[in-house]
Amino acid sequence: MSNNTKGRRDFMGMALGGFTALGGLGALYAMKRTWDPLPSVKAAGFTTVDLSGAQENVLNVEKWRGKPIFVLKKSKDMKADDRDVVIGSDRFHVSIGLCTHLGCIPAYVADDKKFKCACHGGEFDASGHQIFGPPPSPLEIPPFKIDGTNLVLGEAGPEYKKMLDAGLTV
Ligand code: FES
C-alpha cells in the first residue's frame, strides 16, 4: 500500500468517525430535549415546579424528598377528575410515582394514557385510579400548593386540604 493510499484511508476513517460522533451528539441533544424536566427548584423539603411549559400527555417526573413525583398535563380528551390539580384552564395529574401495591415505579404509556407497573401488571388511569391488577388504591397525591403557574410540592395549600378532607389523596 502506498503511503498516499494509507493516508487517504486514515483521513476517510477520521472523517467518518467525526460524522458518527456528530450524529451521536445530535441524537443525545434530541434525547436531552425530550428528557429535560420542567424548571424546578428544590429547597428545604420543598420542590417548586413551573408548570407553564408543560405539554399535554407528556409525563414529567420530579423529585421530592427522594420520591418520584408524577406531573402529567391532561389533554382535553382525558376525563376531568376531582383529584386533578387545576391551574387556569389546565388540568394536571400529580401523584407520588410509586405503585400502591408494592412500591415499584410505574411507567406512563402515552399512547394508552395509562400508567403501567411492570412488577405485577398493575395499571392506573391518567387520574391515578387503579384500573387493573393488584394495586389496592389510587396513586397517592403529595401535599402541594399552587402559586401562580408554580406547583409547590411539600406544602399543603387549600386545594390539597380540600382533597385530603374529601379522602381523595390516597
Ligand atoms: S408493585 Fe405494582 S403491581 Fe405490584
Does ligand 1 have an atom closer than 6 angstroms to the CB of 119? yes
Does ligand 1 have an atom closer than 6 angstroms to the CB of 28? no
Phi-psi bin for 71: left (phi > 0), alpha (psi -120 to 50), beta?
beta
pLDDT at 1 over 50: no
pTM of the model: 0.77
pLDDT in tens, 107-154: 999 999 999 999 999 999 999 999 999 999 999 999 999 999 999 999
Ligand 1 atom at minimum distance from 122 CA: 3
Spatial contact of 133 and 117, defined as CB atoms under 8 Å apart: yes
C-alpha dihedral sign at 114, 116, 122, 127: negative
Q: What is the pLDDT at residue 94?
A: 97
Best of 98, 99, 115 for a ligand 1 pocket test (most atoms within 8 Å of beta carbon): 99
Report the nearest-CA residue for atom 1 of ligand 1. 102
Find the radius of gyration of the CA atoms of the chain. Answer: 22
Using CA atoms, how far apart are residues 82 and 40, in angstroms rounded to an integer?
Answer: 25
Cα distance from N-terminal residue to C-terminal residue, the chain? 74
Q: What is the pLDDT at residue 16?
A: 45
Spatial contact of 38 and 69, defined as CB atoms under 8 Å apart: no
Does ligand 1 have an atom closer than 6 angstroms to the CB of 117? yes
Does ligand 1 have an atom closer than 6 angstroms to the CB of 128? no
Spatial contact of 74 and 93, defined as CB atoms under 8 Å apart: yes
Does ligand 1 have an atom closer than 6 angstroms to the CB of 122? yes
Q: What is the pLDDT at residue 12?
A: 46
10 pLDDT tier (thresholds 50, 70, 90): low
Q: What is the pLDDT at residue 44?
A: 73
pLDDT at 8 over 70: no
